[in-house]
Amino acid sequence: MPDLGPFYRPLDGLDGERFHATFSTTGPWFSDAQHGGPPAALLVRAFERCDPRPGTQLSRVTVEVLGRIPAGDVEVRAAVERPGRTIELLGAEMTAGGRTVLRARAWRLADGDTAAVVTGDAAPLPPPEQAVERPERPEGWLPGYLDALEWRWLTGWLGDPGPGVAWVRPRVPLVEGEETSGWQRLALVGDSANGIAAVLDVRRWLFVNTELTMHVHRAPEGEWVGVRAHTVIGPAGLGTVSAEVFDTAGHTGRITQGLTVRPR
């Protein structure tokens, strides 16, 4: 196991906008580039800290990947784009070396009481204690991000082609010096749906997601994120990933990713 630190170290204190992306953010595609999960989670953190108001919650976050996200120093900013009493639209971006590498938007909605009409949840997953821990990496998958997470498998594995079901939790904090929130954990893990459901050999194919969309009907809680993911590869270089996501109390939402697929 590599010597791992937090995903990010703040450069101007916890209230600043500049961070250093560590080795824990890198891979599995390129040794000098971040996996999409940590930067997506850092944007979620920015949304959570953007003019927060009691009685509201994030309901959807979409992250657009504008290019390779280098490890090293990055900057994150967020703002309210469409203010409202019950519905707000937030925007955020990450820059590195003067280049915008990620853009994101989030809907923040007012709380309500719908406990009496809850319906449509997927059945809960078997708990993490019933899953098989597999810390090893498949051949050709680079270290860093994959090692910074604990992986427990109910079906499949990163090296097995086809759908997969896994419980995952971060071994290190998102930002040094603070607790990682449930939504941040969801983003950290959720961008791995592509890997959990990988159907192609990473040594022969690139199948990189260009975006990540996360919807929740209940805010995720606790340290574990469960992902049940499925990939479809089309005939013209495109693919899609869809996943249900869970915490140990049950179903919390869904994830989708669009893929660009090409030979290495």
Residue 3 has pLDDT above 80, yes or no: no
Structure tokens given for 238: 């495109």
Give CA–CA dist 121/254, Å, rounded: 11
Over residues 125-135, mean pLDDT: 95
Mean pLDDT value of segment 54-73:
96
What pLDDT is recorded for position 246?
98
Is pLDDT of 82 > 60? yes
pLDDT of residue 2: 63
* pLDDT higher than threshold 60 for residue 141: yes
Burial class (CB in 10 A: 0-12, 13-18, 19+), 129: exposed
Residue type for position 237:
G
One-letter identity of residue 41: A
Q: Is the pLDDT of residue 28 over 90?
A: no
- Please write the tens of the pLDDT for every residue from 152-203: 999 999 888 899 999 999 999 999 999 999 999 999 999 999 999 999 988 8
Mean pLDDT of 131-141: 88
Mean pLDDT (the chain) is: 95
How far apart (Å, rounded) are the C-alpha atoms in residues 208 and 37?
13
Mean pLDDT score, 59-66 = 98
Helix 182-190 with 37-48: angle, nearest 10 deg: 150
Cα end-to-end distance, the chain, whole Å: 28
The 10 Å CB-count burial string (b at 16+, else e) for 10-27 is beeeeeeeebbbbbbbbb
| pLDDT at site 138 | 83
Give the global pTM: 0.95
pLDDT digits (tens, 9 = 90+) for 235-256: 999 999 999 999 999 999 999 9
Q: Are the C-beta atoms of 225 and 245 separated by less than 8 Å?
A: yes
Between CA 77 and CA 92 the distance in angstroms is 5
HEC secondary structure over 76-118: EEEEEEECCCCEEEEEEEEEECCEEEEEEEEEEEECCCCHHHC
Percent of the chain with pLDDT over 90: 88
Q: How confident is the model at residue 132 (pLDDT cuts 50, 70, 90)?
A: very high
Euclidean distance between CA atoms 139 and 120, whole angstroms? 39
Structure tokens at 147: 């090692």
